[in-house]
Amino acid sequence: MNPTSNSLATNPDPAPSFITPLPTPPTSSIALPRVGSSTTKFVPSTKPQRRTKVFHAVDFFATADGREAGLRFLQYSLRFTLYLRRHKLSTPLLSRLLALVSTLSAIRRLVALVDLTYYIYHSWDPFHHIRNRRKGKGKSAHPDDDPSLVSSSWGLVPELSTLLQLTRQSFDLVSTLSDNIYLFSKLNLIRLSKRRTRQADRIADVATLMAALIGLLQVARSRQQIWEEGRAVRKEAIKLEERLDSFEYWEPSSLKVVEVGESSGTEGIGEGEQLRNGLRQERRLEEKMLRERVRNERRRLKALREELTDLWWERLRLTSDGLFAVWDVLDLNVMSEMIKSWAGLTSSAIMMSQAWRDFVPVTRKL
């Protein structure tokens, strides 16, 4: 038994200097695998929930177009219902419901003014052109860079479609402002005479009528362009389909020539087979490209038909708005309530469906 080990084990004092410590065992650089527990822990994964129609509706009415369309549809639906049930409702109830229709109209005008103010505040920038000029100081501006501008002897002139759009938006702006001036005068928030109040109401009606007429002109131009494009696409599709049909009955003459020279020897057979395979692959590739082009032309025709359908509904909506404005501008009393109710309900229903269809595809991608 080694006494040194006993003294080291029992003596708490540090070891003398003449005793060398035992060498430590070498550590391996290879990492040993950790022994995991036998139980497995399941962490619940949070799946993204699908947005229901209720969430879509809430988000839709949170937008400017959704609020405008929803309030218009509610107002004119109630007005049309009151027109149909006017003989079966008591006079006090009918008066209260008509007051509710007027309240919805006032709310819609105020919301339109708020949305317009918000849009102008966040989009209008008086220093926009100055900053753009500084950013592109070393670049030469050319009118071809902007598709909405064309060069002429008088400088840069916008296209007709751009002019029509700007004019229509200007009339919409005048209509919104005049409507709210009329409303504020009725609420005694602005001191105007009765004559000035009637003038503001008339200006709003005339601006609405002019915006509807310009919109109808835009629709007519768009329909003409789509018809011309559709004719060109249809002619191209017919040509491609005729070429594709000819592939089913046409056989390259070069393949027949190769078959005649096959009996000359093994070398001729190999070269003829390679040439025939190359021609067949070429033919299949061309046929595949033709089929793809035919599909693309058919898709374009389908898209153009859908655009024509959308323009038909837009024309009906603008016609209803114009008819409503004509009765207001001319102050006609002949079947006034019936025509205004029908026109307002038709226009608001189409506007509601258009705004919803434009909104839903955007939210489904989120």
Say if CB 178 and CB 204 are below 8 A apart. Answer: yes
For the segment 196-239, what is each residue's pLDDT rounded down to a tens digit? 999 999 999 999 999 999 999 999 999 999 999 989 888 888 88
List phi, psi (to 5°) of 60: -65, -45
The proportion of the chain whose per-residue pLDDT surpasses 90, expressed as a percent, equals: 37
Say if CB 64 and CB 123 are below 8 A apart. Answer: no
3-class SS at 151? strand
133 C-beta neighbours (distance < 10 Å), count = 10
Say if CB 150 and CB 143 are below 8 A apart. Answer: yes
- pLDDT category at 64 given cuts 50, 70, 90 is confident
Q: What share of the chain is helix, strand, coil (3-state, %, to 5)?
A: 75, 0, 25
State the residue for tokens 């329909």. Answer: 223
**DSSP code for 158:** E
Say if CB 344 and CB 74 are below 8 A apart. Answer: no
For the segment 117-173, what is each residue's pLDDT rounded down to a tens digit? 888 877 665 455 445 545 544 444 444 444 444 333 333 445 888 888 899 999 999
Check residue 227 and give its pLDDT: 92
Output the average pLDDT for the chain.
Answer: 76
- pLDDT category at 250 given cuts 50, 70, 90 is low
Lookup: tokens for 6: 């006993």
| DSSP β-ladder status, 155-158 and 149-152 | antiparallel
First to last CA, the chain: 81
Residue 339 pLDDT > 90: yes
Check residue 100 and give its pLDDT: 92
Please give the model's pTM, rounded to 2 decimal places: 0.68
For the segment 295-310, what is each residue's pLDDT rounded down to a tens digit? 888 899 999 999 999 9
What is the mean predicted confidence (pLDDT) over 234-245? Answer: 83
- pLDDT category at 72 given cuts 50, 70, 90 is very high
Residue 160 to residue 360: CA distance in whole angstroms = 31
What DSSP element (H or E) covers 180? helix 160-186
Q: How many CA atoms lie within 13 A of 123 on its CB side?
A: 6
Domains of the chain by residue range: 53-120+333-366
Report how far apart, in Å, the C-alpha atoms of 68 and of each of 18, 112, 155, 206, 361 are: 97, 7, 39, 20, 19
Q: Which residue has the higher pLDDT, 69 or 30?
A: 69
Residue 262 pLDDT > 90: no
Q: Which residue has the higher pLDDT, 365 or 83?
A: 83
